[in-house]
Amino acid sequence: MFRLKVNKSHFAAAAAATRHATTTTTHGTHYQYLQNSKLPTLYFQRSLPRLPIPLLEKTCERFLASVQPILTPDEHRETQQVVEEFRQGIGMELHAKLKQRDAANKHTSYISQPWFDMYLSDRAPLPLNYNPLLVMRGDPRPEYQPQVTRATNLIISSLRFWRSLQANNLEPEVYHMNPKKTDTDNYRRWMAVAPKAFATYASYAFKAFPLDMSQYSRLFGTSRIPKLGKDELVQSPESKHILVMRRGNMYAMNVLDTSGYIESPSVILGRLKSILETDSQREPAKVPLGVLTTSQRDEWAQTREHLVSNPKNADLLQREVDAALFCLCLDSEEDGLFNEADPVPMLKHQLAGKATNRWFDKSISLLISADGVTALNFEHSWGDGVAVLRYFNEIYRDMLKQPFVSEATPHTPAHGDGMNVRPLNFEIDDRTKAAVEAAYAKNATIVDSLDMNYLQYRQLNKGTCKQHGLSPDSIIQLSFQLAYRQAFDRYVGTYESCSTSAFRHGRTETMRPCTMATKDFCEAVLQPAQKQLSAGELRAMIDRCSRVHGQLTKEAAMGQGFDRHLFALRHTAQLEGLPQPVLFETEAYKRINYNIISTSTLGTDTVVAGSFGPVVKDGFGVGYSIQNDFAGAIVTSYKNQAEGKKFIESLESAFDQICAIIERSSRAVKLERRN
């Protein structure tokens, strides 16, 4: 999961396409825009179906099925009674009110505003609790890997993506069931003549599924502003600068000219180099304000209110920091270098770290270590993985295809250009200094308590899954259940996120991978040798687990889960000033929502590692993926709260057992066919 080196031969053709600033017409369409789509970016947005509200009866059934593996039989019987009373009583009333509210807001989804409110009202610090980390695959060509070179190309590709989005020229986000047949010019020609009001349904006929793109507008120029009780998001889409941080010092750097065009590569390179030169002559920030963004949100809100009581600080914060298109964090050698043999220190640093060189409130922050290793840390309230991953993939592939600067590219000197490169010098008083020191100490304590373990397992990969007809995701999730059961002798609430972006303003739905099917399999595997089922019988149980998991995935993606519906019903009770229904006080509801195992994956070859913090103090945050040559998992936990090392060792054992079952079953089938 951490392979940052790539075989150069894979990219020989891409390397040949390299273009430098000297041959670039900077105001030309080819430089200014990443894409020039035949279909406008928001072509399908109007015709996207609305996120359905599931039937109350189905939600109750799904809830009962999901809690069964983590309850005793007596607890489950008691829960059944409470659920039935809810279904026939207050649940019906709340469901009717939710439907009524949804009918009055047809421009959006029933979950969108409550979900925003949930994120923005939580007072927990952003690092570890919300902001995830994605680590980008390295560039196979050494001349493009140095920090300032990589940063320049990242900036340019990001701006090309952003300008394409603003101009409505970015390809609409479409999930193609068979890309070879539908991700074609012919498909786009047919779509172009479809009426906008029905375009999504016309696309369905091609088995191509347009996705919601409402979140994309918040990718750039967006900041989360701390407020007492509930934060707010501010947007500045007309900004022409980015925020650059180095050793805690902050700079505003113009990247667009006065007409809104992307500056030339040599100019952007020169401005970045001038920041590095200037910073090398300064001390690291004595009061690194970025640390404040790690604070508990009400504490940060109070500190910020005091900070902006100074007019100069208010202007710098609002005009230069909040309004920046994105944040670029250039780490120094003192922050550490990536070590493939032991990636944990760098991953912890990028996920949360000392935070002296971070501004976690920005929608996206690009983190670049001194050796060019690149990661993305993003604020989560405004959007989910679909939009972020699209951006991540596009800029990586753009840099491979046509990097605009290399290590040898000449730059336009910008030293002393105070108009376009502006050091941000805040006026710091004793109260702000004390707040930074307190925030630094608190964050350091939390980060020091974070444990991180990882596993690369080469016997299980995309190839073996395909060879044996297995669903990669269901196998990984089954392995998590077996690992936890054999390590800790119980079953717990497990969270797997599923996107509902096939619907207008869809967000996510929760998958519950701990099922009766996975429980039955785990119990069968852990039986004494004399009671063990045959490999064929165990393989049949694996297939059953896969079918159940596949059905849950399908239901969740189609807006037919139960978590978001119950969340919305609970939220409706609060809005209506009604007492909280008994269902939400049950042990079953509390236990299923106490996510000991919280999991997430992003299936793409541009991400070499992904990580996030545990969602409960005694739980695990599990970022995982199945690559072409291995299955990988990064597990975070808090020391003395959960045993991450024990879980990861048990996970390796679970992989061993499942792979052995699959191999034995396969050999038995082959032998039977021969006979």
pLDDT per residue as tens digits for the range 301-338:
999 999 999 999 999 999 999 999 999 999 999 898 88
**Rounded to a whole number, what is the largest CA-CA distance in the chain?**
86
- Single out the residue of 341, 333, 348 nearest to residue 2, CA to CA: 341
pLDDT on residue 26:
82
Q: Rounded to 5 degrees, what are φ and ψ at 595? A: -85, 90
pLDDT the model gives residue 1 = 54
CATH 3.30.559.10 fits 56-108+451-674, yes or no: yes
Least confident of 328-332, 487-491, 668-672: 668-672
380 has catalytic annotation: yes
Tens of pLDDT, residues 591-610:
999 999 999 997 788 998 99
Question: The pTM is what?
Answer: 0.93
Closest C-alpha to 112, from 568, 561, 556, 510: 568
The answer for residues whose C-beta is within 8 angstroms of residue 93's C-beta and 6 or more apart is none
Pairing of strands 597-601, 620-626: parallel
- pLDDT class for 339, splitting at 50, 70, 90? confident
> Band of the pLDDT at 464, cuts 50, 70, 90?
very high
Q: Which of 190-194, 460-464, 497-501, 667-671 has the lowest mean pLDDT?
A: 667-671
Average pLDDT over residues 145-173: 97
Correct CATH for 13-33+122-173+216-448 of 3.40.50.720, 3.30.559.70, 1.10.1040.10, 3.30.479.30: 3.30.559.70
Range(s) within the chain of domains with CATH label 3.30.559.70: 13-33+122-173+216-448
pLDDT grade for 669, boundaries at 50, 70 and 90:
confident
Q: Which amino acid is at 160?
A: R
The 8-class DSSP code of residue 310 comes to S
Q: Is the dihedral of CA 466, 470, 471, 472 positive or negative?
A: negative
268-292 pLDDT per residue, tens? 999 999 999 999 999 999 999 999 9
Q: How does the average pLDDT of the chain come out, rounded?
A: 94
Q: Which of 20, 76, 380, 468 is catalytic?
A: 380
| Collapsed DSSP state (helix, strand, coil) of residue 637 | strand
Q: What is the pLDDT of residues 425-441, one digit of tens each?
A: 999 999 999 999 999 99
List, by residue range, all CATH 3.30.559.10 domains of the chain. Answer: 56-108+451-674
